[in-house]
Amino acid sequence: MGAGIAEVFARNGVEVVAVEITAEALERGRATLTRSTDRAVARGRLTGADRDALLGRITFAVGLPALAEVDLVIEAVPERLDLKRRLFADLDRICRPAAILASNTSSLSVTEIAVATGRPDRVVGMHFFNPAPVMKLVEVIRTVTTATEVVGAVQDLCARLGKVAVTVADRAGFVANALLFGYLNQAVAMVESGYATREEIDAAMRLGCGLPMGPLTLLDLIGLDTAYEILDTMYRRGGRDRRHAPVPLLRQMVTAGLLGRKSGQGFYRYERPGSGTVAADDQAVAAPVEGARPVRRVGVVGSGDVATGLADLFGQAGYDVTVLDPGGGLAGLADADLVVEAVAEDLAAKQALFAELAEVCKPEAVLATTTGMLPVIEIAMAARWPAEVVGLHLLDPTPAGAVVEIVRTVRSSAEAVATARAVCAALGRTGVVCGDRAGRVVDALLFPYLNDAVRMLEASYATARDIDHAMTLGCGYPAGPFEVLDAVGPDVALRIQQRLYRESREPGLAPAPLLEQVVTAGQGFSGRSAG
Ligand SMILES: NC(=O)c1ccc[n+]([C@@H]2O[C@H](COP(=O)([O-])OP(=O)(O)OC[C@H]3O[C@@H](n4cnc5c(N)ncnc54)[C@H](O)[C@@H]3O)[C@@H](O)[C@H]2O)c1
């Protein structure tokens, strides 16, 4: 982060003194900076002459005394309060009395850092996002002691750097990380429990939600040690929400030196330390399609948009498709190799249909339900061969949709799952195999984050616009949480959140009262400024 922040300032014409603790660390930082600026030149985003001028504005030094004459210090040392407090006390002694001291901390209390100095009025948070030269957001943290003039100066500076400042009070995780880290931790829990693989979770969120990268790839970029510290602090400072208690796997990986890109291995292995290019490793599980049964004839039951979309999809992929209305007879499905149901999202209706399908279909036919929320096992047990039942949750039934969640129940046979995988591949979709839990992968990771955003709005910590900005400009999301909520419908979000809460009994997943009120009032979130 230090190298990235130095680059941002130098690129915008500001003289920078880049300080590290040892000569070796300084060289590492210089190498990171050189790589980043060389890449910008190679991509035509910077001329060679501008790169040289940029690098010429940076003085590299070991030790804090080099900072004696600067106007502003931005600290980006490891995320540990004791370390930061000691550093700020030293900076207070070394720097000019007028200098502003800013922390890039992601989660620690800027107030506690500020009071370690004799100038708490000149201490402020300036939270940049990774990679700092790319991400447009800076969260400016104003503590109860920060002088208004200092906040103003830092906001002006952000504008000069081409950044968008969102100014908030000193709460654990501020805006973006408070919304991001519960989601990241939950994704780690899914890996740890074997609920889905790292590749599948990442693909589900990237392709299913349009995120720039999946959660495990993002954790590798952030650094697992940094992520651990952020979660630990958020857990302790943020009301001991268990969703922020770091998943044990994270601690184990940090202990093992698997820190992510910076150490060359985290959830993925990289070509070399610092590289973002994933290299092969023995963790990659080739999607097992052996055992898949041949599928030629496909039955689709239903008459709505999903059924029509499915029929088109299978037809275009060359399958022999029979579409039947659930009200009509099902005898036409007797020789189908795969039957996909897309009838109303009602458990009793689906159970009745599966009981009937089991009478009509051949025993080796795979029976799939498209339910997004209902427990697949409850549908499967209504069929005579629950082993042949899987979930096939198309996140988007249009031909452009990319991801299909394949739900494996405790009774699903390996062949049925392999068949579903092979069919998804033939449809040109990415199949994501997961367990039979509410929300599957995507909804289980997405909706709690949306609910948290509503809670943040409800607490008047930030406006809907600032929260949306934080996620789009800080994390590269295609849309902010309130834009997403309005697009899917607050009522749909509430229903999904209620189901997640009922199944997990996790207090942190209880629907936000404001979400319930907005649904009751028949409103959306757009234009709302505060709870
Ligand atoms: N990694 C991210 O995605 C990210 C994003 C935003 C903010 N941050 C915050 O930025 C800070 C740094 O995170 P990082 O990921 O760059 O960590 P990092 O471990 O990659 O880098 C920390 C650097 O600080 C140096 N250092 C340690 N003690 C020092 C001292 N006394 N004086 C000078 N330098 C010292 C280390 O040598 C190291 O190079 C943390 O507070 C983190 O929460 C991180």
Q: Report the predicted TM-score, pTM, of the whole model to 2 decimal places.
A: 0.93
Specify whether 193 is catalytic.
no
Q: Is 76 in the pocket of ligand 1 (CB under 6 A)?
A: yes
Here the tokens at position 427 are 């449809």
| pLDDT at site 399 | 57
pLDDT in tens, 389-399: 999 998 776 65
Choosing from 36, 104, 106, 107, which is the catalytic residue? Answer: 106
Specify whether 244 is catalytic.
no
Q: Is 31 in the pocket of ligand 1 (CB under 6 A)?
A: no
Report the chain's C-alpha Rg in angstroms.
26
> Quick one: average pLDDT of 507-522?
96
- Say how far residue 312 (Cα) sits from the centre of its chain: 32
| pLDDT at site 530 | 43
pLDDT in tens, 232-275: 999 998 888 999 999 999 999 999 999 999 999 999 999 999 89
More confident residue, 396 or 113: 113
Q: Is 20 in the pocket of ligand 1 (CB under 6 A)?
A: yes
Specify whether 451 is catalytic.
no
Sheet with 338-341, side-by-side order of all strands: 320-324, 297-301, 338-341, 366-369, 389-394, 403-407, 430-434
| pLDDT at site 286 | 62
Q: How far apart are CA 208 and CA 404, in angstroms?
A: 9
Buried b (16+ CB within 10 A) or exposed e, 219-236: bbbbbbbbbbbbbbbbbe
Q: Is 103 in the pocket of ligand 1 (CB under 6 A)?
A: no
Q: How far apart are CA 262 and CA 224, in angstroms?
A: 9
Check pLDDT > 50 for residue 350. Answer: yes
